Amino acid sequence: MKKRIFNLLLAVMVTAGLQAQKSASAPVLAYDENRSLTWEEAIRFYKDLDERYEEATLLEMGMTDAGQPLHLFIISSDGERDPAVMHNQGKAIVLINNGIHPGEPEGIDASARFAADLLANRDGMKKYLRNCSVAIIPVYNIGGALARSRYWRINQNGPDEKGARRNSRFL
């Protein structure tokens, strides 16, 4: 009887530990569930990739008018983080700018998936890093991304919540 109770308690503790590890990991991309990453989730996602892969670097490039830093995520086969050095090495630099209009968040999610797949070498994608590096701005219009609501662009097909387009006369 004591052995059964011990085994049951051990199983509960192991399961709880695994669940805690899962929740501490990077946010899950849930566009299949009509959700998209918030600004905080996107930055946390890229920070997680930066910590897990030596080819990845997340930089803060300066403060925005929203009072939050503008981030640049760089993927380079040799871990180089300076675009000028990459250019001098003869590598092409592919720049992906996301979240210009946070009411159109699909690119934010697609770039996060692309970065994760590239770094994990899904379908042998890392071979492309021999000749180029990738630079991703996770969210450009941070103020608009922070002002999420179910009521922005209500007739637009897309995630349940979207950011506000606040960079063109609120159109």
Domain ranges of the chain: 2-146
- Helix, strand, or coil here: 7? helix
DSSP string, 78-116: T----HHHHHHTT-EEEEEE--SSTTSTHHHHHHHHHHH
d(CA 151, CA 17): 38
Model confidence at 19: pLDDT above 90? no
pLDDT mean over 64-69: 87
pLDDT mean over 111-139: 93
- Relative to beta strand 132-137, strand 92-97 is parallel
pTM over 0.85: no
Is residue 18 very low, low, confident or very high in pLDDT (cuts 50, 70, 90)? Answer: very low
Spatial neighbors of 105 by CB under 8 A, at least 6 apart, are 36, 37, 99, 145, 158, 159, 162, 163
Fold classification of 2-146 is: Aminopeptidase (3.40.630)
More confident residue, 162 or 82: 82
The reported pLDDT for the residue numbered 146 is: 76
More confident residue, 85 or 6: 85
Model confidence at 117: pLDDT above 90? yes
Is residue 22 very low, low, confident or very high in pLDDT (cuts 50, 70, 90)? Answer: very low
Q: Tell me the pLDDT tens digit for each residue of 133-160.
A: 999 999 988 877 777 656 555 555 555 5
pLDDT mean over 30-34: 57
pLDDT mean over 36-63: 93
